[in-house]
Structure 1
Amino acid sequence: MKEKILNFIKSKLFSKELQQLENLKEENRKLKKELKKQKIMNSFKDEVISAISHEFKNPISIINGYIETILESNLPPQTQQKFLNKIQKNTTRLSELIDRLYLITKLENKKLKPSFSTFKLDLLIKDLIQSFDEERISLNLTPTTITADKKLIEIVLSNLISNALKYSKKEITINLNEKYLEVIDKGLGIDKQNIEMIKQKFFRIAKNDWDNSLGLGLAIVEHILKLHHTHLEIESEKGKGSKFYFDITSLKDKEHPQQ
């Protein structure tokens, strides 16, 4: 009884102070949560900056090495040409890195306006795979006409095919039917918890296995497909491979999709 009376007196006499104390506790909880979030973001930024630095530093070092050798050594023309080809390959790689960073920035800031035209998607795929010079690509294409931004759809296809070839040593299949475009591989597969994450910018399943995509390829694909009123779907089983696909019915309208 005494305890109840004391608590009643405290609540009446110190209600303002008690409320202030609760407010301080709540502010402290929010601050701790924000600090934790900030710490995670800082760690993520450090990892991204480190990855970008690594991807730029590696080809630059290779280029410098070949240039120094050419300048300081009396190399035969055949060897010089070989070194120049290596330099060209790495400058192209640097250019692609910059292009990807620039493209994802424009897409995220909604500064990229699609330029729609009508074209045959099956012919675009056939033309595109010639640039890969790969015998592992199997095609199963239904003649299909779509209305879309041809250059952006080519980027989507290039990223999906490159991704499949990178993670699979076996044959990959590209299917195009009346409803879907599918890129199927028999590679490493993806853990269920990572399937949605891999569409996020800079996300890499193997944290220390950075390559010239910087984890931007699928993020770019997702942004471009959203501009075309569709989205990327992923089905995968660890150790058995993956299927990346999207619905093309929204691209088969006779009129250009409204933005």
Structure 2
Amino acid sequence: MKKEMDKISDEKYSLSENNYEEKLFELCGITRELEEKKFFLGANKEVSELQARLLTVIKRLIDELNTAKVFKINRNEFLGNVSHELRTPIFAIQLSLETLIDGAVNDENVSMDFLNRALKQTERLRELVDDLINISKLEAGMKISKRYFEINRFIKDVVTELSGLSEKRNVVIKIESGVSDKTMAFGDEERLKQVFVNLIDNATKYAAENGEIIIGIRNTEKDVIISVKDNGVGIPKEDLPRIFERFYRVDKTRSRDMGGSGLGLSIVKHILELHNSTIRVESEEGKGTKFEFNLPS
């Protein structure tokens, strides 16, 4: 019986290896051997222990195999999306520069237009690379540094920093705070700033002409509740479950025209999960979208 015990030792079936299917095939053979021995030996403590150990190892291997397959599918899909997203701005930059180099444009204004197009795509490329780095760090288990900070002051600073963006897109950002200036929230300010930048940037892209974004702040005994609401185009009901997926876009044409990596909401979700918080969303087509989350106070 020691022979079978040795065959299913934890060392041999370490889950750090990747030949899961081969291991499961071998375990099936051990199972058959065990059944044969059980037929001759009858009820036996050692046989029972071996059975229990075998079932545990098989369960772990099946779970790990399923995880590995899902990871492979997600990884391949992710790499395909990244390749597509990188190729689009690179091609646009190349086309603009080749047109200028070939001397096809003699008008200075038209030349400047081509250069501006190339610059816009360069900015889009930089944003995509930055977001890819951020999402990779978050999924790898990025460490965050939490501390108490004044939530009103924090949000005012973020809105001031983003004022140029909102003015450029003719959108007004308002803060409606129902808490005192001494109200504290607990979290990583730098990472939470990314949350607001992504939510507000997203809202300005889809806001109505001369639109409005309202940042709401209220509190309970334990939490500060923050919302970001716009009066834009809204999100179709069937798209809501998927908006936090990487590279998922509701309006693909408009999203690419407005720029953006397609990773913003996924980054928001990951950062809030690191704060033990969940992002909630309400939306109605033609009326706008509201995102909301809690932070400990």
Measured against the shorter chain, the TM-score band is 0.5 to 0.7
Indicate how the Cα distance of structure 1 residues 53 and 183 shifts in structure 2: closer, same or farther if over 3 A, else same: same
The amino acid of 1:220's aligned partner reads I
Indicate how the Cα distance of structure 1 residues 63 and 115 shifts in structure 2: closer, same or farther if over 3 A, else same: farther
How much has 1:41 moved relative to structure 2?
Answer: 2.9
How much has 1:140 moved relative to structure 2?
Answer: 4.3
Q: Are 2:99 and 1:69 equivalent residues in the alignment?
A: yes
Query: Paired residue for 2:132?
Result: 101
Give the one of 24, 29, 40 matched to 1:13.
40
Q: Are 2:210 and 1:164 equivalent residues in the alignment?
A: no
CA distance in 1, matches of 2:159, 2:142: 27
Deviations 1:201-251 (A, max 9, x none): x26376988856554322322343456x4624313256465421123562x
Structure 2 unpaired stretches of 5+: 1-36, 220-224
Higher relative contact order, structure no. (Cα contacts within 8 Å, ≥ 6 residues apart): 1
Check the 8 A contact 1:136/1:172 in 2, yes or no: yes
Deviations 1:83-114 (A, max 9, x none): 11111111111111111111223334325556
Name the count of aligned residue pairs. 237
Give the one of 146, 162, 179 matched to 1:128.
162
Query: Paired residue for 2:213?
Result: 173
Give the one of 235, 243, 248 matched to 1:204.
248
How much has 1:174 moved relative to structure 2?
Answer: 1.6
Query: Paired residue for 2:294?
Result: 247
Indicate how the Cα distance of structure 1 residues 93 and 72 shifts in structure 2: closer, same or farther if over 3 A, else same: same
Output the TM-score relative to the length of structure 1: 0.67
Give the one of 50, 60, 85 matched to 1:55.
85
How much has 1:46 moved relative to structure 2?
Answer: 1.8
Check the 8 A contact 1:121/1:144 in 2, yes or no: no
Indicate how the Cα distance of structure 1 residues 222 and 34 shifts in structure 2: closer, same or farther if over 3 A, else same: closer
Indicate how the Cα distance of structure 1 residues 103 and 22 shifts in structure 2: closer, same or farther if over 3 A, else same: closer
SS in 2 for 1:80: helix
Q: Are 2:271 and 1:224 equivalent residues in the alignment?
A: yes
CA distance in 2, matches of 1:121, 1:21: 59
SS in 2 for 1:49: helix
The amino acid of 1:86's aligned partner reads R
Output the TM-score relative to the length of structure 2: 0.60
Q: Are 2:122 and 1:91 equivalent residues in the alignment?
A: yes
Query: Paired residue for 2:27?
Result: none
How much has 1:157 moved relative to structure 2?
Answer: 1.3
SS in 1 for 2:169: coil
Query: Paired residue for 1:141?
Result: 176
Indicate how the Cα distance of structure 1 residues 11 and 156 shifts in structure 2: closer, same or farther if over 3 A, else same: closer
Identical columns (%): 27
Check the 8 A contact 2:244/2:265 in 1, yes or no: yes
Check the 8 A contact 1:138/1:173 in 2, yes or no: yes
Q: Are 2:263 and 1:236 equivalent residues in the alignment?
A: no
CA distance in 2, matches of 1:31, 1:90: 46
Check the 8 A contact 1:159/1:221 in 2, yes or no: yes
Structure 1 unpaired stretches of 5+: 1-9, 251-259
CA distance in 2, matches of 1:51, 1:95: 16
Indicate how the Cα distance of structure 1 residues 208 and 134 shifts in structure 2: closer, same or farther if over 3 A, else same: closer
